[in-house]
Structure 1
Amino acid sequence: MDELASVDGVVGPAGTMTIPVTDEGLLRGDGVFEVARLYGGRPFAWDEHLARLSRSAANVHLEFDLDAARAEVEALLERAGAVDGTVRLLITRGGRRVVLLAPLPDTAPTIALATVEYAPSRVLDAVKSLSYAANMHATRLARETGAGEALLVTPDGRVLEGPTSAFFYALGGRLHTPPLRDHVLDSITRRHVLAVTGATERGLALHELDGLDEAFLASTTREVQPVSAIDGRGLPAAPGPLTAAAADGFRRRVADLLS
C-alpha cells in the first residue's frame, strides 16, 4: 500500500507532509497517539483506541478536536480503500492532528527476547505519549545481544511488557499477563486477548522466567507472536498450545467484531 498522510485534514504522500519544526511534539515528544490495525480498510477496535486517545490527552492536559480527528481518519481511509496495514493518529502539543497510513511491519513467526532494565514513569501512567525514546532504546539494546525484542524488567525484578507489546506467559498450564498495577500499558490487544483466553493478571518475577512453559507478545501489528527464547534460554514450545489457542481466538474475535 502507498503511505498516505493527513495533517489537519490536508492529504498527501506521507513523505511530503510537514509540521512546523517548532511544534513541541517534535521538539520534546509532547503529544499522544494511537495505532490501529487495518483489515480490508477497517480499523479494529477503533472506538476503543479513540477513547484511550482522549484519556491520554486529558491526562497530559492536551486539548484537541476529537470530531475533526475522527473525520480526518475516515476521509483518509476512504481514499485509501480496502487496504491492510495500520492507521496512526497523532495529536501534538502544537495542536496538529496527524494521520498516517502505513503497511504492516514484517513480523517473524517467533521471536527471541532479552530482558532490559526499565523504570516506567509514574507521571505518564495510562498515557500513550509520543515519548517513546526509552522504549526504542530498549529494543536496540536487546538486538545488540542477538535477540529480536526487549522484555522490560524493573530494577527490582518485576517483568512488565515489551517496548510496544503486552507480554503473556504460561506457568503450570495456565495463562497469565503482568497486572496493570505494575504500570504496564492498558493495551487494546491485551484486553481482547484476555477476553478470548480467560488469562489472569499475575505479577511475574525475573527469576521465574526460567520456569515458563510458553510465552507470547500481543500488539496491534503482531497480533499474537510466540516467544521462542528469553535471555538465550529456549522455551519448551513456540508456539505452545495456549499461545496457539490465543492466536486462533484473537483472529476469530477480529473477524466477528468486523463482520
Structure 2
Amino acid sequence: MALTALAILDGKVLPADEATIGVTDLGLLRGDGVFEVISIYEGRLFAMEDHLRRMANSAQNLRLEIDLGAVQADIDALLAEAGPVTGAIRFFVTRGGRRVGLVEAVPAEREPLILATITYAPPRIMDGVKSLSYAGNMLATRLAAEKGATEALLVTPHGRVLEGPTSSFFVSLDGETLVTPPLSDHVLDSITRRRLLAMLPHAREEVVTREELHGAREAFLASTTREVQPIARIDEDDLPLVPGPLTQAAAEAFAAHIRDALEA
C-alpha cells in the first residue's frame, strides 16, 4: 500500500504539511525534546514496547514530562488512518509539550555503503537520551558526502570507533566474529543493536580503533530503518567481503526475528 503523507499533532490526524508547532516551542528553538522512529511492516509495528520504554528513559534523563499513554494513543490513531503500509513512524515530544507523529517511507533497497570517518566527541551529558538535537549527526553525514562517501562513521579524537550518525556499527576483524563498540563509549543503546547482540552467537561488544579497521573483513550498519546494511568501503579501504557471510547471516536472522515478532 502506498504511503500517504500523514501526521498526528496532539491527537489530531491531518495531512503532514498542515502539522505545525509554534515558533516559541523549545523543541524548535533548542532541539529540546525526544523522539523515536518505529518500523511498520504492512500496518504492524515492530518493537513498539522497546521504543516506548526508551522514549520514557530519554524523557526522564532530559527532565521532560511526557504522557506515554497519549503517545501510544496517537501512534495507534495514526497507524489506523495510514492503513496497512510499510515504512516508519517518527514520533517526537517537544519541551513545549507538543506530541507529533509522522508516517515516513524507508528505502526499499539497501545498497552497500561507502563510509568516511568523521571525528566526533559524544557529549556525555546526553548519554541515555535520544534527543531532537541531531545537528551534529547530520553535519557528520554532510562532511562524509563531501569526501565522496554515502555515510559517516563517527570516531573519537583518540581514534575509537563509535557508530554511524543514526545507526550502530558492526565489524568483523578476523572473519569469524562480529564486534560493536560498547555502550561505555557513549554510543546509542540502539534497539536493533541490542537485539542483534542477543541473537547472533558470534557477536559481542568490544572497543574498536580506527587503525584496526584497515584489516576489517566485513562490516555493516544497523538501525530501525536500515535493518542490516553492508559496508563496501571505509575511507580508502575496500572491504574484501561485501556482503560477507556474517553480514548475510545477521540480515537473515534479523529478518526472521522481525517476521516472528510480527506473527506473535
Which stretch has the larger CA shift, 167-176 or 47-56? 167-176
1:137 aligns with 2:139: yes
Of 203, 206, 211 in structure 2, the residue corresponding to residue 207 of structure 1 is 211
Aligned counterparts of 2:247 and 2:210: Cα–Cα separation in 1: 21
Q: Distance in 2 between matches of 1:106 and 1:125?
A: 32
Asked if the contact 2:173/2:212 (under 8 Å) is kept, the reply is no
Q: Which residue of 1 aligns with 2:249?
A: 245
Paired position in structure 1 for 2:236: 232
Q: Counterpart of 2:26?
A: 24
Runs of 4+ deviating beyond 2 Å? 105-108
TM-score after normalising by structure 1: 0.98
Aligned pairs, how many? 259
1:108 Cα deviation after fit: 3.5
Residue of 94, 97, 107 corresponding to 2:96: 94
Instruction: Tell whether the 8 Å contact from 1:161 to 1:184 is kept in structure 2 after alignment.
Output: yes
Pairing 1:169-184 to 2, within 5 Å after superposition? 169-172=171-174, 173-184=176-187
Q: Which residue of 1 aligns with 2:47?
A: 45
| Preserved CA contact (<8 Å) 2:173 2:213 | no
TM-score with structure 2 setting the length: 0.97
**Letter aligned with residue 214 of structure 2:** D
Specify the alignment match of 1:55 in structure 2. Answer: 57
Deviations 1:49-106 (A, max 9, x none): 0000000000010001110111011011011111000001101000001111111146
Query: Is the 8 Å Cα contact of residues 224 and 247 (structure 1) preserved in structure 2?
Result: yes
Instruction: Show structure 1 runs of 5+ residues with no match.
Output: none
Partner-residue secondary structure (3-state), 2:50 = helix
Q: Distance in 1 between matches of 2:20 and 2:98?
A: 10
Asked if the contact 1:3–1:103 (Cα under 8 Å) also holds between the matched residues in 2, the reply is: no
State the secondary structure of the residue aligned to 1:215: strand
Identity rate, percent: 58
Matched residue SS, 2:89? strand
Distance 1:234 1:240 in 2: 13
Match of 1:256 among 254, 257, 260: 260
